[in-house]
Amino acid sequence: MEYQWINYQKEDGVATVTLNRPQAYNALNAAINRDLLAALDEIASDADVRVLIVTGGPTVFAAGADVTEMADAAPMEAYRLCGDGRRINRMLEELPIPVIAAVNGMALGGGCELALSCDFRVAGEKTVFGLPEVSLGILPGAGGTQRLTRLIGASRAKEMILLGRRVSGTEALAMGLANALVPDGEVYTEAMRMAKKLAGMPRLALEYAKRAIGAGEEFGREAGLEQERLCFSMLFSTEDQKEGMKAFLEKRPPSYSGR
């Protein structure tokens, strides 16, 4: 499928979605949201995709939602715009494959929320994360209040949301907002290194592990423990479980099939 506001490529099981609205610092509007939703639908139905990288390119991740599109919105229009962002971020979160955000430059507002919806965040040294919506008279509306709090705790989340505090890549790593910090020119390379490692692992084990973690976060500890037990048990019906344990006992590298 052809996209206007994103670039999509796939190689060796790793898909990359690159936001492509550089004239507006990749600000998220209705058009780019439509492309993102369509791309995520394509990825979700493609069994050859083992890992997804989301990036904005080498200079900026995304400067937030497009304020020019929102400034005069009525409440119901704002509700619809908010819904698009929520759907995109929920889809990222619920994809059965690992998702890595490769973050250069600004990741503000909706761009920060997009990165928060990924499983991993690789940041550059000049990366800046922030949720400045309160200073515009609104608040994060695509999951930022919930995902950021879950990730770094309520006190630090309030600093970023209520006070509008922006966080550098170094700070993001220290507080657990970023998983890795590398020189700016190496962000995508590091994300691809991580992606290739994940792509070589048993697909169903990754999917079920992600599902168990998500169940605990969404529904609480007991539900998470039960989901973990079910996923653990079901994996014993897979060829990869047999291969992985056999390879371990035979002291050789495993050869996973994804089945």
Written as one string, the DSSP assignment of 95-136 is: -SS-EEEEE-SEEETHHHHHHHTSSEEEEETT-EEE--GGGG
Sequence-distant (≥ 6) Cβ neighbours of residue 140 within 8 angstroms = 109, 112, 113, 131, 133, 148, 161
Beta bridge mates, 62: 107
Tell me which H or E stretch contains 182: strand 180-182
Q: Active-site positions?
A: 113, 133
